[in-house]
Amino acid sequence: MTETLRFGRLPAATAHLCIDMQRLFGPGSPWAVPWIERIRPAVATLVAARPQRTVFTRFIPPARLGAAPGAWARYYAQWPEMLRERLDGRWLELLPELARHAPPAKVIDKPVYSPWHDGRLHGWLRGAGVTTLVVTGGETDVCVLGTVMGAVDLGYRVVLVADAVCSSTDRGHDAAMTLYRERFSQQIETAPLQEILAAWGND
């Protein structure tokens, strides 16, 4: 399936959701996503083009194991060094070329894969009149997946920037992109960065 904006130009009422582009997933971290280096320039280009329309999410681990609910406790038992009581807080920061745009870009922290869990993001977007979401970041098959599926449920037009999302594995990335393109073709569009930049209407 061709990657393109099948439902036309992006309206002015579009926001860019940049998912978890943090030092936590960059070089040197136990959770490093190697592909993040490949997409950083594309993500930075989009943020720089529309900083006032960008919302960054940050994945924030719990302070201690006892604060992790349910199955998350089992998860963090495997990654105790990522609990905030042990983790240098600088790892939670956005990558530097992105952080310099906040503000005007907005930052929303989340303790789970989905940014929709507590309603803050949806409330802010609706209050700002946003109808369309352009999504970048990582990982394609984890936090991006949680973001995209929640956005679909809430009725947003969802556009995934095909050359500005990444995963730890080719297999997971490819499977997720196939899912978006084929199973959700009426609700999710995938398009390259340059097409998105050219098609985003003026504020």
Q: Are 17 and 161 in contact (CB under 8 A)?
A: no
* Residue 185, both tokens: 């073709």
> Is residue 39 situated within a structural domain?
yes
Q: What is the DSSP letter of 191?
A: E
Alpha-helical regions (H) of 68-119 = 71-77, 96-99
| Segment 162-196, tens digit of pLDDT | 999 999 999 999 999 999 999 999 999 999 999 99
- Domain of 133 in residue numbering reads as 14-199
Residue 126 neighbours by CB under 8 Å, 6+ apart: none
Block residue for tokens 């959700």: 184
> Is residue 191 situated within a structural domain?
yes
pLDDT tier, 21 (very low <50, low <70, confident <90, very high otherwise): very high
Domain count, the chain: 1
- Cα separation, 159 vs 156, in Å, equals 9
> Is residue 32 situated within a structural domain?
yes
> Is residue 3 situated within a structural domain?
no
Q: What is the pTM of this model?
A: 0.96
Q: For residue 80, what is the domain's CATH number?
A: 3.40.50.850
Burial of residue 81 (number of CB atoms within 10 Å: 0-12, 13-18, 19+): exposed
In this prediction, residues 7-15 reach a mean pLDDT of: 95
